[in-house]
Amino acid sequence: MCTLPEAVAQNVSRVRQSTSAQIMAVVKADGYGHGAVAVAEAAVAAGATWLGVTDVAEGRALRAAGLAVPILSWLNPGGIDAVAAALDRIDVALGSVDELRALIADAVAPVRVHLHLDTGMARGGCPLADWPELLRLARAARGRVEVVGVMGHLPRADEADPAANAAAVLRMRHGRDAVLRAGFGPVLVHLAATSGALTDPATHFDLVRVGAGLVGIDPSLTTVLTGAARFTAAVVHSAFVPAGTAVGYGGAHVTDRATHLAVLGVGYADGIPRELARDAGVELDGGRHPVVGRVSMDQIVIDTGATAVPRGAVATVFGPEGGAVPSVQDWARWAGTIPHTIVTGIGPRVERGIA
């Protein structure tokens, strides 16, 4: 069994096998629910040379924790704190003329910026038509902004088919060439996230931004990575019930035989998806036991059959080891979602620790 730092290190080296570009460890959404500082420290120790977040405040928290590598913040939904960005050396990505204007108005010391081109997603990034205006404005604002990077994002890299990325790669080259022609110095060019990093070298440019892959999620489904989290829950109540017993809200499950039930003290407030397929289960004592009845806010019921499980026994909801232990990917399948929503959905009252 491996610890979070070991799992992240294995995943970074797996990405390293696929690319010679620099690796940015993306630790947004609290490191995909795993703890941003813990994942960042492990990734940097394993060779990541950049960190990525979606808000300057997240970047500042990493600086406060002692992380010294360059940090990029894109999105910045609450606006960019230009003073904080300059002070803590947080690079910011800008995807519109408007955003650049606002930054220029606020900047008192030079802020390092990455110009974000829409490479085909229509979900952020500057449209190609506005790119010349963005460059013109950035040139005029030299001294207050320093253009150090150009970024795009791939809409279809999880298809693991380079043909699906070709249009974005062309746009990226076009955008980069325009930046260089406009007289900006060397810029760091970056387009790929985990899927592109693992499946399409044409997308790598100077740096790949890897988030999901760090914690063991490969959206391209091409590569075996190591899960970085284990989610356990204690049995808080158990009972032996006769056949015909209705379980949970609505009596959605009725036992078909006399059986032992165990209640785990985790529910949808803790990230157990309420929309679960019938084959969902957890590991307890080396066996897989089904979740029965509806998921409640604070608890789920599992059917342990002939086995009486004492209060205090600990079940594994998910973990990396396989066998009877479900994976994050199993939970995603049972809930009809992607693994990302499982790990980022773990609720705040679930106690976190680094094993």
Q: Annotated catalytic sites, by residue?
A: 28, 249
For ligand PLP, give the closer residue by CB, 54 or 304.
54
Q: In the bound complex, what is the minimum distance in angstroms from residue 246's beta carbon to ligand PLP?
A: 41
Per rule CB under 6 A, is residue 19 in the interface with ligand PLP? no
Q: Give every CB contact of residue 70 below 8 A, 6+ residues apart in sequence.
A: 49, 50, 51, 89, 91
Dihedral of CA atoms 184, 185, 191, 192 in degrees, nearest 10, equals -170
Separation of alpha carbons 169 and 341, rounded Å: 28
For ligand PLP, give the closer residue by CB, 120 or 219.
219
Residue 339 CB-density burial (10 A; 0-12 exposed, 13-18 middle, 19+ buried):
buried
Stretch that binds ligand PLP, among 7-15, 206-214, 268-276, 284-292 (CB under 6 A): 206-214
Per rule CB under 6 A, is residue 34 in the interface with ligand PLP? no
Identify the H or E element spanning 4.
helix 4-18
Separation of alpha carbons 189 and 73, rounded Å: 15
For ligand PLP, give the closer residue by CB, 14 or 28.
28
For ligand PLP, give the closer residue by CB, 194 or 199.
194
Q: In the bound complex, what is the minimum distance in angstroms from residue 260's beta carbon to ligand PLP?
A: 40
Separation of alpha carbons 5 and 251, rounded Å: 43
Degrees, nearest 5: CA angle 77-79-85: 115
How many residues interact with ligand PLP (rule CB under 6 A)? 12
For ligand PLP, give the closer residue by CB, 50 or 268.
50
Per rule CB under 6 A, is residue 268 in the interface with ligand PLP? no
What are the two backbone dihedrals, phi and then psi, of residue 65, each rounded to the nearest 5 degrees? -80, 0
Identify the H or E element spanning 6.
helix 4-18
Q: In the bound complex, what is the minimum distance in angstroms from residue 148's beta carbon to ligand PLP?
A: 16
Per rule CB under 6 A, is residue 213 in the interface with ligand PLP? yes
Largest alpha-carbon pair distance within the chain? 78
Exactly one of 7, 25, 26, 113 binds ligand PLP (CB under 6 A); which one? Answer: 26
Contact string 38-77 vs ligand PLP (x = CB under 6 A): ------------------------------------x---
Determine the straight-line distance between the first and last CA of the chain, rounded to whole angstroms. 10
Stretch that binds ligand PLP, among 2-10, 204-212, 287-295, 300-308 (CB under 6 A): 204-212
Per rule CB under 6 A, is residue 153 in the interface with ligand PLP? yes
Residues 293-352 that bind ligand PLP (CB under 6 A): none
Per rule CB under 6 A, is residue 194 in the interface with ligand PLP? yes
Separation of alpha carbons 235 and 284, rounded Å: 10
For ligand PLP, give the closer residue by CB, 196 or 248.
196
Residue numbering of the annotated binding site for substrate: 123, 297
Q: In the bound complex, what is the minimum distance in angstroms from residue 136's beta carbon to ligand PLP?
A: 24
Question: The tokens of 52 are what?
Answer: 């990525």
Which is nearest to 69 in space by CA: 42, 31, 109? 42
Stretch that binds ligand PLP, among 134-142, 207-215, 312-320, 323-331 (CB under 6 A): 207-215
Whose structure tokens read 């899927």? 195
Residue numbering of the annotated binding site: 123, 297
Whose structure tokens read 């949970």? 248
Q: In the bound complex, what is the minimum distance in angstroms from residue 330's beta carbon to ligand PLP?
A: 19
The answer to whether 301 touches 248, Cβ cutoff 8 Å, is: yes
Stretch that binds ligand PLP, among 210-218, 239-247, 290-298, 325-333 (CB under 6 A): 210-218
Site for ligand PLP, rule CB under 6 A? 26, 28, 74, 153, 193-194, 209-213, 219
